[in-house]
């Protein structure tokens, strides 16, 4: 799994990279939101307070760049209202930096499963819509 880690603090990034070392994930670290061609990834693990973004606005920016990619927010802020806002803006889940490594890793895996279910559901809905259009089209002929 390719993970894009967005963390503006090199020391925090180093801790996260060390914690993820044994997972086998391929992790690309960026200090800010990549401009231009964003790197391909299967999941985004992002700090919440990354320049030039404030509060949870990075989630909106990431969702625009990566509409189907799971986004896991990793923050020091334990405010449940902020966590809810991140989820409402498109984060798949929110973890606290105070969580143990295994909790964060489980959250990453869960985020992937959640996103996969969303994609599968969207695919089924699309199939039903196509079927309905086909039925309507054949009724008109």
Query: Looking at residue 4, what is its pLDDT?
Result: 93
**Which homologous superfamily does the CATH classification assign to the domain defined by 2-140?**
Response regulator (3.40.50.2300)
pTM as predicted: 0.79
pLDDT tens digits, one per residue of 46-98: 998 888 888 888 999 999 888 889 999 998 888 999 999 999 999 999 988 88
Going by pLDDT thresholds of 50, 70 and 90, the confidence category of residue 139 is low
Report how far apart, in Å, the C-alpha atoms of 71 and of each of 19, 90, 127, 129 are: 18, 8, 26, 28
| Proportion of the chain above pLDDT 90, given as a percent | 26
Each domain of the chain, given as residue ranges in start order, spans 2-140
Tokens of 104: 């964060």
């Amino acid at each position: 799994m390719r993970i894009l880690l967005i963390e503006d603090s090199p020391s925090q990034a180093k801790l996260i990279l060390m914690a993820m070392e044994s997972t086998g994930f391929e992790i690309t670290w960026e200090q800010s939101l990549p401009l231009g061609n964003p790197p391909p990834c299967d999941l985004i693990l992002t700090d919440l307070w990354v320049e030039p973004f404030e509060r949870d606005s990075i989630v909106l920016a990431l969702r625009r760049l990566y509409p189907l990619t799971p986004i896991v927010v990793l923050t020091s802020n334990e405010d449940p209202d902020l966590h809810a806002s991140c989820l409402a803006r498109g984060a798949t889940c929110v973890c606290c930096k105070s969580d143990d490594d295994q909790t964060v890793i489980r959250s990453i895996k869960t985020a992937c499963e959640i996103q996969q279910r969303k994609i599968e559901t969207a695919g089924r809905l699309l199939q039903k819509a196509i079927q309905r259009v086909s039925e309507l089209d054949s009724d008109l002929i």
